[in-house]
Amino acid sequence: MDIKPFTDKPIKFMEYDGKPAGDIAALDLTTEQLLVMYRWMVFIRAVDDRGYILVRQGRAGFYAQVAGQEASQVGSALPLTKPDWMYGDHRSQGSQLVKGLKASEWFGHVLGRTLDPTQGRMMPHGSGRRDLHIVPPSSTVGNKITEAVGTAMAQHYRKTKDITITYFGDGATSEGDFHVGLNFAAVYGSPVLFFCQNNQYAISVRLEEQTHTKTIAEKARAYGMEGYFVDGNDILAVYAVTKHCADKARAGGGPSLIEAYTYRYGPHSSADDDTRYRPKGELEMWRTQRDPITRFRAFLTGKKLWDDVKEQKLQDEIKAEVAAALAEAEASPVPEPLTVFDHVYEKLTPQLEAERKELAAELSAS
Amino acid sequence: MATVEVAKKQTYTMVQAIRSALIDEMTRDDNVVTLGEDIGPRGGVFLVTEGLIDMFGKERVIDTPLAELGIIGAGIGMALYGLRPIAEIQFIDFLYPGFDMFVSEAAKLRYRSAGQFSVPMVVRSPYGGGVRGGSYHSQSPEAYYVATPGIKVVVPSNPFDAKGLLIASIRDNDPVLFMEPKKIYRAVKTELPEGPYEVPLGKAAVAREGKHVTIMAYGAMIPTSLEAAAKLEADGVEAEVLDLRTLQPYDSDAILNSVGKTGHAVLVQEAPRIGGFMGEIAAFLAEKAIEHLEGPIVRVTGWDTPFPYALEKAYMPNVERIVRGVKKTLDF
């Protein structure tokens, strides 16, 4: 497969209307794989829509949608294997679900219930699972970049073929972590993928106010690393580029920077008002002309792999799955107050033990 | 006359004791790696890692690019994966570029993941004044780290403790800030037992027994406190010197025992007074030992100023100030 770094235009395998563009046969994807990709995107949008409604209903405190970025989230996570490590950011629940986090666990996290593998310790978008190698994201932008490099250094030290992927947005490329992380990884040749979802806004600040380079991918040159500029709304392209870079890293070829050019439909989060900064018509244009799900559905339809009957069946299935996942989360209790002292350290310190007794007395008195 | 051959035991400075701990632990466990600036062929600017790269190779003795953020961040990523990284920060004053990673990530990942992940990393770093290093090579910033739940803070005061506490820190499953008092890096040489041994974290030690007053300190302030105690002896004052050794979690039992016995507490730290670690100990004593106190709790600390270069002597707590502090509480 011929995937080139540092292209002027985003790498794509489909036109916006779903017509094939490029050597799709070389991707060597089975029909089943194509349908799995589609299902994941539809599923993630359904989970996300439901999650956002929880905030509007006052049942959750915060939500950041991935809507519009499903191709980037799914296409970058599917080439990963089980032992690979994933460092997400505050908008990577789509990739985490593909890596194995259950939708019920995700809803448990959003609602702050014990079904959350992280027991409601973080406001939404901070969940993770050790057994799946999903590290909890941070709210300080960029903090997972150098950690991911450390994990990749360890994978290399342990002579595995495993890799680490770290997700961040366009805004994170202004942080020192980005520079330090790419530099470290290049120096050590670490098997890490720096996956930047350029959705063109860091909350409200547009990319051209964030950086003076034309693309983010080209920044890789400064570190002696390859940078790939990919159409983040084309799941085939995201998959192909990520797979290419993952294979390279597994073979000892070192790190890569991937820029997925995409667009978020929602506000930065449920606490943001995006009407204050988006130009009129921009969101509408992306939604109606560049939607990653509509685009891939058109592609599948063109290949005679999809039709309205299949679509209806899938929508019904997913609706039921999402409802069941949410119900499971809601049935799960909120954490017990005394667990607030657990896991500060491996064992309670004498000071924490004393504080725990204080709270226990307070609770039994009330 | 027959001569008896006495095997000459090797003696160690604190630098050599720390180096010996690294060698023993890296030999024992190949999960232990060390990373930092100039720790390879240079052996570290204080020669703590001298020769280690030849013993263990550059995959385990990792010279890093010059970025403390990266040293701490990469260390965390290694620790999450299952290694036991020891990060060397050349001077603790340079930990600030990695501060966010240390306090927001290393300290909290166990908690945030509800115990799924842990960060068994040690950050070793020389701290403190008395070496004509000025503001960027002399600070005592322990209060920031002690105030961050999830981090342990350890400060040795002699070669024996330095080795045993470092080994315990490396084997501990939580992140540890290991503060090395560089002023006394080479102050004394002592014999050490053969091979690895642990000095448990969270336990203070009585450096000198006494019954009239407790002088509490840690790190480089221990020799100064012992000197003050010797001076006080001439005046008939028997001062106990309690070496706290671990600041987070601190040994509340040992503190209460000692002050319960003496009824007087003089708290010594190099760091500025306001918001300093000894403020916590003072509050703890006021809450838990007020019935034993026979005089005011006295703090002997650095001033609430940045660390001065030319006026270092005026800044640093010294024997005379500690003696005056003791008299202040005894004469109450």
pLDDT, residue B176, reads 98
pLDDT for position A270: 87
Asked if A147 lies within 8 A of B74 by C-beta distance, the reply is yes
* Residues 158-177 of chain A whose Cβ lies under 8 A from any Cβ of chain B: 158, 164, 176-177
Q: CB A344 to CB B70 under 8 A?
A: no
A91 in catalytic set:
no
Query: Mind telling me how many Å the CA of B81 is from chain A's nearest CA?
Result: 6
Set of chain A residues whose Cβ sits within 8 Å of the Cβ of B86: none
- Give me the pLDDT at residue B72, please: 98
- Residue A117 has its nearest CB partner, among B110, B116, B173, at B116
Active site residues of B: 137
Say which of B78, B111, B115 has its CB closest to residue A150. Answer: B78
pLDDT recorded at residue A37: 98
In one letter, which amino acid is B226? Answer: L
CB contact under 8 A, B33 and A157: yes
SS3 A4: coil
CATH 3.40.50.920 range(s) for chain B read: 205-330
Q: Which part of chain A is CATH 3.40.50.970?
A: 24-335
Chain A contact set for B77 (CB, 8 A) = 146-154, 164
Nearest chain B alpha carbon to A150: B74
Superfamily of domain B11-191: Thiamin diphosphate (ThDP)-binding fold, Pyr/PP domains (3.40.50.970)
Interface touch B150/A345, C-beta < 8 Å = yes
Inter-chain residue contact B76 with A346, CB threshold 8 Å: no
- List the single residue in A85, A130, A181 with the smallest CB-CB distance to B116: A130
Cβ contacts from A onto B, under 8 A: 148
Digit-by-digit pLDDT tens for chain B (332 residues) are 455 555 667 899 999 999 999 999 999 999 999 999 999 999 999 999 999 999 999 999 999 999 999 999 999 999 999 999 999 999 999 999 999 999 999 999 999 999 999 999 999 999 999 999 999 999 999 999 999 999 999 999 999 999 999 999 999 999 999 999 999 999 999 999 999 999 999 999 999 999 999 999 999 999 999 999 999 999 999 999 999 999 999 999 999 999 999 999 999 999 999 999 999 999 999 999 999 999 999 999 999 999 999 999 999 999 999 999 999 999 98
Q: In CATH terms, is domain B205-330 a member of 3.90.380.10?
A: no
Please provide residue B247's backbone torsions phi and psi, each rounded to the nearest 5 degrees: -95, -30
Could you give the angle at the alpha carbon of B114 between the alpha carbons of A65 and A54, nearest 5°? 30
DSSP secondary structure of B18-31: HHHHHHHHHHH-TT
pLDDT, residue B2, reads: 54
Residue A358's Cβ-count burial label (10 Å; 0-12, 13-18, 19+) is exposed
CB nearest to A342's CB, from B67, B115, B253: B115
Residue type, B254: A
Q: Quote the pTM value.
A: 0.97
Kindly give the interhelix angle for A70-77 and A292-302, rounded to the nearest 10 degrees.
70
Q: Which residue of B has its CA nearest to A352?
A: B249
Compute the distance between CA of residue B148 and CA of residue B100 in angstroms, rounded to an integer: 11
The sign one gets for the Cα dihedral B92, B118, A104, A290 is: positive
ipTM of the complex in this document: 0.97
Task: Give φ, ψ of A39 to 5 degrees.
Answer: -60, -45
**Contact call for residues B35 and B72 (beta carbons, < 8 A):** no
Query: How many other C-beta atoms can be found within 10 angstroms of the C-beta atom of residue A366?
Result: 5
Tokens of A168: 């961040």
CB contact A122 to B (< 8 Å): yes
DSSP alpha helix (H) spans, chain A: 31-56, 70-77, 93-99, 103-111, 143-157, 176-188, 207-210, 235-250, 282-289, 292-302, 308-331, 350-365
> According to CATH, where is 3.40.50.970 located in chain B?
11-191
How far are the Cα atoms of A166, A197, B14 from residue A194, in angstroms, in the given order? 5, 10, 41
Is residue A162 within 8 A of residue A179, CB to CB? The reply is no
Of the candidates A184, A344, A350, which has its C-beta nearest B111's C-beta? A344
Q: Which class is A24-335 in CATH?
A: alpha beta
Give the residue among A166, A121, A119 at the shortest CA–CA distance from A141: A166
- Give the residue from B141, B165, B124 showing the smallest Cα distance to B37: B124
Whole-angstrom Cα distance, residue A238 to residue A258? 9
User: Chain A contacts of B60, Cβ < 8 Å?
Assistant: 157
User: Residue B9: what pLDDT?
Assistant: 75
A194-213: burial string, b at 16+ Cβ within 10 Å, e else = bbbbbbbbbeeeebeebeee
Residue A16 annotated among the catalytic residues of the structure: no
Cis bond before residue A10 (omega within 30° of 0): no
- CB contact A184 to B (< 8 Å): yes
Burial class of residue A337, CB neighbours in 10 A (0-12, 13-18, 19+): exposed
- Which is catalytic among the residues A16, A121, A277, A290? A277
Give me the mean pLDDT over the A336-352 stretch: 97
Statement: residue A170 has pLDDT above 80: yes
What's the burial of B198, exposed, middle or buried (CB within 10 Å: 0-12/13-18/19+)? middle
Instruction: Give chain A positions within 8 Å (CB) of B116.
Output: 117-118, 128-131
